[in-house]
């Protein structure tokens, strides 16, 4: 799923940002804006670092599951991403569950997978599906995966419809979570804090 990405060209980003500053009618030589093109280029290198990373390599590091074939959930994983439509941030939490089938992941690897995929130009729907897909088909080979992402999008809170506090919730299920309603219900009850 990771595509071959050219090295980020920070000089091109700096020139483009300087042009944007000029295009909005500002002076790029004004004291407060002099370093802005460089700062934005540095920021883009950081927030789009996931473009240069392959999630399959992350998922290669696992442990024998010691016959654990029950639900594993990591809740409330904070993330920040950049909407590819307006290049404005969206941020929130991800809840990720999977059922091992031969291997388990270290807990930090689940959070790292979310972060790696979020650090790309994204849409929330794709991000949700990518996390679920990588756990089942893309590396871990889990018997099933379920992902719920709740996020606030700055493109709807600071521009356009201007509705601060509104959240988008997306979900994706794969394998046994899609096939077995009881397993799916258990996942949703745990992430909602209603464990029976």
Is-catalytic flag, 84? yes
Domain with CATH 3.30.1130.10 in the chain: 55-191
Is 85 noted as a catalytic residue in this protein? yes
User: In 29-83, which residue ranges form alpha helices assigned H by DSSP?
Assistant: 36-47, 55-59
For the segment 97-101, the average pLDDT, to the nearest whole number, is: 93
In terms of average pLDDT, the best of 30-44, 102-116, 137-151 is 30-44
68 is catalytic: no
Question: pLDDT confidence of 26, banded at 50, 70, 90?
Answer: very high
Structure tokens at 157: 């809170």
What average pLDDT score do residues 55-69 get? Answer: 77
Mapped onto helix, strand or coil, the DSSP state of residue 59 is helix
Domain limits, CATH 1.10.286.10, in the chain:
10-47
Is there a catalytic annotation at residue 31? no
Instruction: Report the C-alpha gap between 112 and 196 in whole angstroms.
Output: 29
* Lowest mean pLDDT across 4-13, 56-65, 96-105, 131-140: 56-65
Per annotation, catalytic residue among 26, 85, 179, 192: 85
Question: Is pLDDT of 186 > 60?
Answer: yes
pLDDT tens across 143-171, in order? 999 999 999 999 888 888 888 888 999 99
Of the candidate CATH numbers 3.30.565.10, 1.10.3210.10, 3.30.830.10, 1.10.286.10, the domain formed by 10-47 belongs to: 1.10.286.10
The one catalytic residue among 122, 130, 136, 153: 153
Question: Exposed, middle or buried: residue 121 (CB in 10 Å: 0-12, 13-18, 19+)?
Answer: middle
Structural class in CATH, domain 55-191? alpha beta
| Catalytic residue (one of 83, 115, 130, 186) | 83
Write down the catalytic residue from 84, 125, 179, 192: 84
Which residues lie below 8 Å from residue 161, measured CB to CB, with a gap of 6+? none
pLDDT at 59: 81
State the Cα angle at 48 between 28 and 145, rounded to 5°: 155
User: What is the arithmetic mean of pLDDT over 113-124?
Assistant: 97
- 153 has catalytic annotation: yes
- Report yes or no on whether pTM surpasses 0.75: yes
């Amino acid at each position: 799923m990771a595509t071959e990405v050219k090295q980020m060209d920070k000089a091109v980003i700096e020139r483009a940002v300087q042009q944007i500053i000029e295009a909005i009618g500002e002076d790029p030589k004004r004291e407060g804006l002099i370093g802005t093109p460089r700062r934005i280029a540095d920021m883009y290198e950081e927030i789009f670092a996931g473009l240069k990373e392959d999630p399959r390599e992350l998922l290669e590091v696992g442990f024998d599951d010691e016959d654990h074939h029950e639900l594993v959930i990591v809740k409330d994983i904070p993330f920040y991403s950049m909407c590819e439509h307006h290049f404005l941030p969206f941020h929130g939490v991800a809840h990720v569950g999977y059922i091992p089938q031969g291997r388990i992941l270290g807990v930090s690897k689940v959070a790292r997978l979310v972060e790696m995929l979020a650090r790309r130009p994204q849409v929330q729907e794709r991000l949700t599906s990518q996390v679920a897909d990588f756990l089942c088909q893309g590396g871990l080979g889990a018997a099933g995966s379920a992902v719920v992402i709740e996020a606030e999008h700055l493109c709807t809170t600071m521009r356009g419809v201007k509705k601060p506090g509104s959240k988008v919730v997306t979900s994706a299920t794969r394998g046994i979570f899609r096939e077995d309603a009881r397993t799916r219900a258990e996942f949703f009850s745990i992430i909602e804090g209603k464990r029976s």
